[in-house]
Amino acid sequence: MHNYKNKLLIISVFILITSLINPLSTKAQLANFGQNPPGLKWWFLDTEYFTVIYPTGMEREAQRMANTLEHIYPAIQKSLPGSSRKTAIILQNQGVISNGFVTLAPRHSEFFTTPPQDFEPADWLNLLAVHEIRHVVQIDKTIDRFKIPLFEEGQFGVFGLTFPIWFIEGDATVIETALTNTGRGRQATWEKEFRANLLSGNRFSYSKNYFGSLKDNVPDFYRLGYYMSTHIRLNHGDSVYNELFERSLKRFPLPYSFSRSLKQLTGKTTAKYYQEVLDDLEERWSLQSIKTKPEKYSTLNSTVKMETNYTLPHRYDDEHVLALKSGLGTTPRITKINIQSKKEETVLRLGFQTDDYFDYVDDLIVWSELRFDPRYSYRTYSVINTYDLKTKKKKQLTNKSRLFSPVLSPDKSKIAAVEISHANEYNIVILDAQTGKQIQKLENEQNVFFQYPIFNEDGSKLASTFSTTKGRSVVVYDLQSGASEIILPNTFKNIGVTDFNGDEILLTSDENGIDNIYLYHFKNQNLKRISNSEYGAVNAQFDGGKTILFNQIGVLGAEIANAELLDNDFPVEDYFIHYTAPLIEREAGESVFENIPQETFIPKKYSEFKNLFNFHSITPFAEDLGNNDILYSLELKSDNLLNTANTRIQSSYNTQTRGFEYGASFTYKKYYPQFSVGYLNRKRLGLAQGIQNGNTVFVPFSFRQNEIDLAASIPLSFSTGNNSYSVIAQASTLYTSRYNVSIPLQNFRTEVKFPIKYSLGFARASRRSARDLASPWSQIIRFSYESLPFEPSLSGKVLTFRTSFTFPGFAKHHAIIAGFNYQDASGVYTNVIDIPEVNGSEFITRNQKIHNTLLTRYRFPIAYPDWELSTLAYIKRIKGGFFADFENLKYANGGLLTYGAELSLDANLLRFYLPTFDLGTRLIFFNDTKKTSPKIELTLNIGF
């Protein structure tokens, strides 16, 4: 089951929320998502409600989406009416990661066009359109109350502050389900975690089901939101649902405006309403379980104490099974399990994948991994890799490919994979398993979307599920003749083929309302259900005789089971709880994708130059510059839709100088180097040394200063295997001129000409699990050098070298962090401190310059309490640590300066999903006999 979370939407909303909550925060940048390679040519289609922007090659899909969006929009808006505004939809086809998001600042939506392999029986772009356009409708209803020109960031902030993200996404998932023949709410896979927890007695708190857990298998906020939103509409009607939306906005910016409005309309706060929803679901699922009379199958893997999955089991030998292990405390890896002793051995750590998948035949493993364009993050690839367990050799077979779900032929000579082109043309290709060279492409005249192909036992045939707008079916290809046969009629049930032997195919399906294993016989064309799992049985493989090796869904994740199932024939009556069924007639009454018009819209060239400036927001913010210096600002922002140009025009008031500042900046990111130019005019303060009555005095003075800065940078990031890498090279300079000096001064410099600063950084990090406090192995190194080559009358330079390294600690999820930093400063830079300082540096009086620092940390988790502290906070993890910091090693009076301990909490505050807070305290001891008492610091880190 796919899980296309709108992470970009969430991050965008809550970066702004942080800025609004904390006025002394840094400025937010909502539009900095990524760029496409510069060679793309862009076009657009105009409709009444949308502008569809697309690259060359996507003409067919763009025309289809223009017609589809225009047709479905009234139905999507029906249950949440408001004013309509034109929205830009960008079809992004350069990547292989399936996603979509809607944002303001600037107003647009992006559809990432490559479908995921684990997608439900539907057309990817169609379902994406319903879900994302519902977000457009939600935002437009918010804007109706805040119609202020150039206020998009503020409007988006109101949207994110008013409504919990579960409501935003849950509502969109309800519409996605009610307006289509499929949708996640119609799939048994969608409910499995929620259902398993309730039926096993795990009635987790509202906060835990919302914010998640680092020990239990808690479903995400999409599922919470789906059931909560559906329950509100089922029990209180659409008019109350609309009223809830409107009253929540009227109460903004009062705290808990949504929960207060929900209580006013239903009599229950959010947390109490959640308990009512649990009661309803528990009753429905308990009755379902009584009817299905499920069976429990014995498991082969070891017992787990936290959420852990052992998926896609393959028989290795009589005593061992291979599986893909992942979970809260484990990064994805292929593990070999002894089914007698339950001992495990890690065979291979996997890199980032579009979905967790691998295949295995006779000591050879094949899988696909993500690869990123180093510079253009919107261009990604899915490449095929193999690993030989005997020789321990790993091989990348393809480069810059778009291949998914690779599977090995029984003789290991061939690999079948799904290929998706930039134009969303779908094919199954056969590759040489040694070279990766394509040797066959299977016919697909109807351009159906293939998912998870499999070979039969001798490699002469290949079966695959496929999806269209009419649902899902199964096709079998004869690889010699090329002939194909569809063996099952179209269905909107979530079926998938898993193994193929002789005249029998194993499938997974939710025909009876729960994912179970089915057996299809070619000769009699009979389909029968052979498993009766309580929470789900998937990924079945023939395991000799009548035994099936498969995954059994458990409370803490997917377990490995085997059982004699082939003679079973359970009834296939549908017991699924169709939670949104009563809403279908209230909405369109049928799928909105019936009778889509076929109008041809006139394509026009999209000029990046003409659309370079797109002013969308005037944003107030405040920035703490230190030393009681606060900068209050208004900033006019422009971001073009392709995110290649960002413009800022700013006016500020500085509380320390009591002067106004103004400036502008422009960044251009289309080409390999990024370029930026900025101008700032501001008031500055200084002290002039003089002699009065024979005494040295310091006279304050002020002046204004013009600054023009130029910078060029090349940011690169990529991954290979289990490691991610980034490199950034940057050069910058600044011209400064000064005027309006308040008093006459001698030798006052009125300009500083172009100091040059170079920097080069490198980072590498191995993949970390959710429980890891740091990457188990990482290295960060950064050099910088600044000098004054164009100022003969000024001299000075500063060279800095910064590092940070992480290592595994003495227990799982512990981390050792060490960083050595060095600087060499002279001339006008003598008093510059450009490297990290020791803890407690603000309490230290120095009598020498800083030359180097060595900072060491040991951090470890203490507990995972999942405490709900009323509406104030949710505590997910308690952490501890020790530190010892050194300064000026190998210099006189250098060495250990401070040491101590720290304690902190990972928390969500005031029931906001993002940002997350790391709240703590630090006890600092000083290695100085003059400082007898330690200092206590409070710490706060904010994450997204």
pLDDT at residue 929 above 90? no
CA nearest neighbour of 681 among 637, 623, 622, 740: 740
Q: Is 119 exposed, middle or buried (0-12, 13-18, 19+ CB in 10 A)?
A: buried
What average pLDDT score do residues 431-438 get?
A: 97
pLDDT at residue 832 above 80? yes
pLDDT at residue 873 above 50? yes
CA dihedral angle for residue 837, residue 839, residue 843, residue 847, rounded to 10 degrees: -40
More confident site: 457 or 832: 457
Write down the pLDDT at residue 748.
85
In this predicted model, what pLDDT tens digit does every residue of 840-857 receive, in sequence order? 988 888 888 899 999 999
Tokens representing residue 404 in the block: 């998914």
> Do you find a cis peptide bond into 255, omega within 30 degrees of 0?
no
**Model confidence at 10, in pLDDT bands (50, 70, 90)?**
very low
Cβ neighbours for 932, distance < 8 A, ≥ 6 positions apart: none
Average per-residue pLDDT for the chain: 93
Least reliable range by pLDDT among 13-27, 601-615, 664-678: 13-27
| DSSP designation for 151 | B
- Hey, how many other C-beta atoms are within 10 angstroms of the C-beta on 447? 13
pLDDT at residue 28 above 50? no
Beta strands in 629-722 (DSSP E): 629-639, 645-654, 659-668, 674-692, 695-720
Write down the pLDDT at residue 25.
32
pLDDT at residue 17 above 70? no
Write down the pLDDT at residue 11.
38
Strand order in the sheet with 344-349: 308-315, 320-327, 330-338, 344-349
pLDDT at residue 218 above 60? yes
pLDDT at residue 31 above 50? no
- Hey, how many other C-beta atoms are within 10 angstroms of the C-beta on 693? 5
Q: What Cα–Cα distance (Å) separates residue 701 from each residue in 393, 686, 748?
A: 70, 5, 12
Rounded to 5°, the CA angle 192-198-202 comes to 115
pLDDT at residue 14 above 50? no
What whole-number distance in Å separates Cα of residue 231 and Cα of residue 270?
12
In this predicted model, what pLDDT tens digit does every residue of 448-507 receive, in sequence order? 999 999 999 999 999 999 999 999 999 999 999 999 999 999 999 999 999 999 999 999
CA dihedral angle for residue 112, residue 115, residue 121, residue 122, rounded to 10 degrees: 40
Tokens representing residue 939 in the block: 């710490």
Phi-psi domain of 890 (left: phi exceeds 0; alpha: psi -120 through 50; beta: other)? left
What average pLDDT score do residues 876-900 get?
A: 94
3-state secondary structure of 443: coil
Write down the pLDDT at residue 32.
56
**Model confidence at 2, in pLDDT bands (50, 70, 90)?**
very low
Write down the pLDDT at residue 1.
38
| Core vs surface per residue 308-318: b (16+ CB within 10 A) or e | bbbbbbbbbee
What average pLDDT score do residues 240-263 get?
A: 94
What average pLDDT score do residues 45-67 get?
A: 97
Rounded to 5°, the CA angle 293-295-299 comes to 160
| Core vs surface per residue 478-488: b (16+ CB within 10 A) or e | ebeeeebeebb
Q: What is the pTM of this model?
A: 0.93
Cβ neighbours for 140, distance < 8 A, ≥ 6 positions apart: 82, 83, 84, 85
Least reliable range by pLDDT among 7-16, 247-256, 304-313: 7-16
> Cβ(93)–Cβ(57) under 8 Å?
yes
Q: Is 892 exposed, middle or buried (0-12, 13-18, 19+ CB in 10 A)?
A: exposed
pLDDT at residue 13 above 80? no
CA nearest neighbour of 547 among 534, 561, 527, 526: 561
> Do you find a cis peptide bond into 106, omega within 30 degrees of 0?
yes
Beta bridge partners of 784: 759, 800
Annotate 364-399 with three-state secondary structure. Answer: EEEEEEEEECCCCCCCEEEEEEEEECCCCEEEECCC
- Residue carrying structure tokens 């064309």: 525
Write down the pLDDT at residue 147.
86
pLDDT at residue 369 above 50? yes
**Model confidence at 317, in pLDDT bands (50, 70, 90)?**
very high
